[in-house]
Structure 1
Amino acid sequence: MRPVEFTQEQIVEAGQELQAAGRNITGFALRQKIGGGNPSRLKQVWDEYINSQAVTQAEPVAELPVEVAEEVAAVTKSLTERLAALAVELNDKAVKAAERRVGEVIRAAGEQRAQAERELADASITVEDLESKLDEGKAVAEGLAQRLADSQAQAQAQAVELAQVRERLVQAEKSVAAAVEAHAAAQADAKRAADDAAALRAELATIKAKAEAAENTHQEQRKAAAAEANRQAERLTALQAEREDARKEAGIAREEAAKLRGQVEALQAEARTAGQQAVKAQREAATLQAAAARAEQLAAELAEARKQQRDLVAMVTKPGNPSDASPRTAKGASGKKSS
């Protein structure tokens, strides 16, 4: 962005206001007064205005006494030295404060980074544990599936055995029917057949009871195996969810470590900015020193001009004795200064 331009009238008016307030007129004071602009250009415009006024105005001005001029020079020199020392001290404090702050932030960032690395290691261990648990769950599920297959095979075998029993029952019933038909032919055979039929019925009842018990047991085993398979499936799903959560936490830890590295870089940039500001302060102090030297030079030139003016006035008032006028004038002036 280009700096705001200000006219010479605005700069001169600001300088006159500062002069009326009794403040030193510097480039930075003019800039603060008008709200912007280049301090060097503002001071240059004001110096040109002062020079033009010094040329156009020839009115006599009261000279500063020697003691006052010496005091002004001493104060100016002391002020310049104090400003330089203050600039050096401020620069040293700013650099030390920036270095201390950068060191503290770097230590804090190192601790946070170490904490993040420890959390990342814990998350990795958790992921490994969950993966091992997942493998165990898979093994248990495979075992249950194998048990379910065995139960199904056993149930099929029991079903085949039940079918064979039913076939034997059918055959026994046919035998009983044949014995009943042959009852009229042979009573003894009928009696034996009746006994055999009773025995067969008892055996049939036992076989039916065994078959029903086997079928109930098979159904209970199948239900238990199905429930266990469902529980293992739910546990497998929960383990997978926990593993995903652990992976997400590990990703968050990596992001926090990246943010901490970004904060360290930002603080380093702030330290570099503080150093640049310190260099700028040194440059401003040098500008102030140059301005003070310029003020001393102007004061010396003004004293010389006043001396020449007094000499001219003495020569005009006493043209008959020019050789004695200057010493008496100088003596009177020294007497006034001493009084």
Structure 2
Amino acid sequence: MAISIEDVYSVADRLAESGQQPTLAAVRSALGGGSFTTISEAMKSWRSRQQAATTPIREAAPVAVMERLNQLGADVWAMAISMANDRLAKEREAFEDSKAGVERAHKEAAELADQMATELESTRNQLEQQGALLSAAQEATQTSQAALAEAQRRSDSLAELLERERTLSKEMQAKAEKAIADAARLAGKLEVLQAQGNLGH
């Protein structure tokens, strides 16, 4: 729910009545949150209202002063009051200047706090996204490792099969060479037998 100016006024009045200083942080804490910028602007107008309620110093002259300054009397006292009011006005002007500087600093601080809160939220979202990407990458890595292990297993099986085929090929080659040699011996014997048969005719 959005914080209204009346909400800020109410909390600031309550804190002041209880003897606490209604600072920006204290008001925001009592409200349970809210934008620093909104609270800062509301507190600025609240302080202006409090300042407007202040009246100039007016005090009757003490009896002892009236007795000692009888000849100057009311004129001297009026002059003293005027000087006091002039001094008060100057001090108030200096206070207003100082207050304006403080309010500018508070406003800048509130804007900075809002900006930092926004950046923090953005950073948190980025971290969550990066965490999701990291989890996906880890799952992909595990899948790739499983596929690599399966490929390695198949490669080992194929190598074993090729080795068996190579051994079998060597055995068949040896048998073929033996068969050729046996055939050559038989051919030689056949030629000898044929030659002997021709001689007998």
Same fold (TM over 0.5): yes
Give me the whole-angstrom Cα distance separating, in 2, the residues matched to 1:227 and 1:251: 36
Give secondary structure in 1 for the equivalent of 2:132: helix
Q: Report whether the alignment pairs 1:201 with 2:75.
A: yes
- Spell out, residue by residue over 1:137-181, the C-alpha distance to the aligned partner (whole angstroms, 9 max, x if none): 864663343122322454xx65xx9xxxxxxxxxxxxxxxxxxxx
Match of 2:157 in 1: 282
Question: Considering only aligned residues, what root-mean-square deviation do their CA atoms show, in Å?
Answer: 3.5
Give me the whole-angstrom Cα distance separating, in 1, the residues matched to 2:85 and 2:116: 46
Identity %: 9
Residue ranges of structure 2 left out of the alignment (5+ in a row): 1-28, 59-70
Shift of 1:242: 2.8
Which has the higher Rg, Structure 1 or Structure 2? 1
Match of 1:308 in 2: 183
Give secondary structure in 2 for the equivalent of 1:263: helix
Task: Say if 2:44 and 2:103, in contact at 8 Å, map to a contact too.
Answer: yes
Amino acid at match of 2:191: V
Match of 1:145 in 2: 45
Alignment of 1:26-45 (within 5 A): none
Give me the whole-angstrom Cα distance separating, in 1, the residues matched to 2:45 and 2:85: 25
In the alignment, which of 151, 161, 167 is matched to residue 292 of structure 1? 167
Residue ranges of structure 1 left out of the alignment (5+ in a row): 1-128, 162-196, 322-339
Give me the whole-angstrom Cα distance separating, in 2, the residues matched to 1:203 and 1:301: 143
Match of 2:13 in 1: none
- Spell out, residue by residue over 1:237-260, the C-alpha distance to the aligned partner (whole angstroms, 9 max, x if none): 332243234234323422431342
Amino acid at match of 2:103: A
Give me the whole-angstrom Cα distance separating, in 2, the residues matched to 1:229 and 1:236: 10
Give me the whole-angstrom Cα distance separating, in 2, the residues matched to 1:314 and 1:308: 10
- Spell out, residue by residue over 1:5-61, the C-alpha distance to the aligned partner (whole angstroms, 9 max, x if none): xxxxxxxxxxxxxxxxxxxxxxxxxxxxxxxxxxxxxxxxxxxxxxxxxxxxxxxxx
Amino acid at match of 1:225: K
The change in CA–CA distance for 1:226 and 1:137 in structure 2 (over 3 A counts) is same
Match of 1:215 in 2: 89
Amino acid at match of 2:107: A
Shift of 1:272: 0.6
Match of 2:110 in 1: 236
Alignment of 1:122-141 (within 5 A): 139=39
Shift of 1:286: 1.5
Give me the whole-angstrom Cα distance separating, in 2, the residues matched to 1:151 and 1:263: 62
Match of 1:270 in 2: 145
TM-score using structure 2 length:
0.57
- Spell out, residue by residue over 1:86-121, the C-alpha distance to the aligned partner (whole angstroms, 9 max, x if none): xxxxxxxxxxxxxxxxxxxxxxxxxxxxxxxxxxxx
How many corresponding residue pairs? 152
TM-score using structure 1 length:
0.37
Relative contact order higher in (CA < 8 Å, ≥ 6 apart): 1
